[in-house]
């Protein structure tokens, strides 16, 4: 088995063969992927060495110290955190070979076509239809809240292939080419003024069966892999101490003593401690992932992430008083990244409102934690055995 010493040696050999100072970013990232140092826990030939996931930190530390370029993970977060683990788990050899390299190198941006206006938080009630036509599927429907669809080449998509089955069973999972005819992306302006979200209209979009992930009708099972990884990617992201939302307010507290009050101090200390506990819990969660795929614990982390971001940003606005109400730019933007923390306090306060919706609403995640972590009885579901076509909508 590959160990830390071997990985450090391989990383130094990569740096010697492709010095970051004289090698283009594209060539370096390709060489890193081919050397198995992209994501070391992936199989050989797919950017990894089948090594323990925890050893990725060894590689990253060596490369960071040498000033090596990264793959801009914030820009391709959906691909890295959601599409890649799903393709790895359910893709054919040809699909893994085709998609994983360009995805990791950032050559192709991905988005997620899951949510729909008529399904709300009940994702399994989705109505986008995929009808078989020879070796292709014809897909028609509407998706919503699609981050980065305006930049994406590929999308992970779930669609209903059998309306005669109950809602969880008649779904199939596809990879959709966002440049194909019939795909229309429209911006959704958010409370922040920008439009990182989109609505996507699919009109007779032809998807080859070769771009199906998993078996026909197994889309809900495949989607669970995506959703569990998404919640870890959002709620369990790797952060330094005082990383994330707690950083800016802590810096303001130290630099602006005239703003301090005893009440605000007590509330900030409480939130600082909770943020540190959440950060350390995220470290433990990532260590657990060494042994397998993410489970319902990621839902708990994402719940905590949303609550803390909203409470911390609210306290920051209160600390700053009138300054906290200022907003630096209200012009319509189409950002390349989803930025939970950026810009000023007014932006952070408004952007955090979406944290309890995206990646699974807090209400849905509370149910997951109750049932799958605490072992409490499931809520009554009277529609689970009813054919989708017979459900009230």
For the packed helices 297-320 and 262-288, what is the interaxial angle rounded to 10 degrees?
Answer: 160
Chain centre to alpha carbon of residue 332: 24
What burial letters (b/e) apply to 174-205, b meaning 16+ CB within 10 Å? bbbbbeeeebebebeebebebbbbbbbebeeb
Pick from 304, 280, 295: nearest CA to 355: 304
> What's the rounded Cα separation, in Å, for the pair 14 and 66?
11
> What's the rounded Cα separation, in Å, for the pair 28 and 381?
52
Residue of 230, 276, 311, 316 with catalytic role: 230
Pick from 54, 36, 53, 37: nearest CA to 45: 36
The β-bridge partners of 174 are 157, 212
Catalytic annotation present for 230: yes
- Please answer whether residues 200 and 193 qualify as being in contact, where contact means their C-beta atoms are separated by less than 8 angstroms: no
- Please answer whether residues 90 and 214 qualify as being in contact, where contact means their C-beta atoms are separated by less than 8 angstroms: yes
- What is the dihedral sign for C-alpha 17, 23, 25, 27? negative
- CA dist 214 → 209, 317, 342 (Å): 11, 47, 37
What burial letters (b/e) apply to 253-292, b meaning 16+ CB within 10 Å? beeeeeeeeeeeeebbeebbebbeebbebbeebbeebeee
> What's the rounded Cα separation, in Å, for the pair 212 and 17?
38
- The pairing of beta strand 212-213 with beta strand 171-177: antiparallel
DSSP secondary structure letters along 289-326? GGGSS--THHHHHHHHHHHHHHHHHHHHHHHHGGGGG-
- Please answer whether residues 114 and 123 qualify as being in contact, where contact means their C-beta atoms are separated by less than 8 angstroms: yes
| Catalytic (active-site) positions | 230
């Amino acid at each position: 088995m590959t160990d830390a010493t071997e990985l450090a040696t391989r990383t130094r050999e990569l740096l010697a063969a492709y010095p970051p100072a004289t090698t283009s970013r594209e060539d370096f990232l390709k060489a890193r992927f081919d050397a198995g140092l992209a994501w070391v826990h992936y199989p050989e030939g797919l950017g990894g060495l089948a090594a323990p996931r925890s050893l990725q930190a060894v590689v990253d530390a060596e490369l960071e110290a040498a000033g090596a370029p990264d793959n801009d993970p914030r820009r391709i977060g959906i691909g890295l955190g959601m599409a890649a683990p799903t393709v790895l788990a359910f893709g054919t050899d040809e699909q893994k070979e085709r998609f994983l390299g360009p995805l990791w190198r950032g050559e192709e941006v991905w988005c997620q076509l899951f949510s729909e206006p008529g399904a709300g938080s009940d994702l399994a009630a989705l109505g986008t239809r995929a009808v078989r036509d020879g070796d292709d599927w014809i897909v028609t429907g509407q998706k919503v809240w699609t981050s980065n669809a305006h930049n994406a080449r590929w999308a992970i998509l779930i669609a209903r292939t059998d309306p005669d089955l109950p809602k969880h069973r008649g779904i199939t999972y596809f990879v959709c080419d966002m440049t194909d005819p019939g795909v229309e992306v429209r911006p959704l302006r958010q409370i922040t003024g920008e439009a990182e979200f989109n609505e996507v209209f699919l009109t007779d979009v032809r998807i080859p069966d070769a771009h199906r992930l998993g078996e026909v009708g197994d889309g809900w099972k495949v989607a669970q892999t995506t959703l569990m990884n998404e919640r870890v990617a959002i709620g369990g992201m790797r952060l330094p101490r005082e990383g994330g939302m707690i950083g800016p307010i802590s810096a303001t507290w130290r630099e602006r003593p005239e703003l301090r009050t005893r009440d605000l101090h007590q509330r900030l200390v409480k939130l600082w401690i909770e943020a540190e506990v959440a950060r350390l819990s995220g470290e433990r969660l990532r260590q657990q992932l060494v042994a397998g795929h993410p489970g319902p614990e990621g839902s708990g982390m994402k719940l905590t992430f949303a609550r803390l971001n909203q409470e911390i940003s609210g306290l920051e606005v209160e600390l700053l008083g009138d300054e906290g109400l200022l907003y630096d730019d209200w012009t319509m933007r189409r950002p390349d990244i989803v930025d939970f923390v950026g810009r000023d306090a007014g932006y952070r306060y408004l952007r955090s409102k979406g944290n309890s919706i995206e990646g699974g609403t807090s209400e849905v995640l509370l149910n997951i934690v109750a049932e799958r972590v605490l072992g409490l009885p499931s809520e009554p579901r009277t529609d689970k055995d009813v054919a989708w076509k017979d459900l009230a909508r």
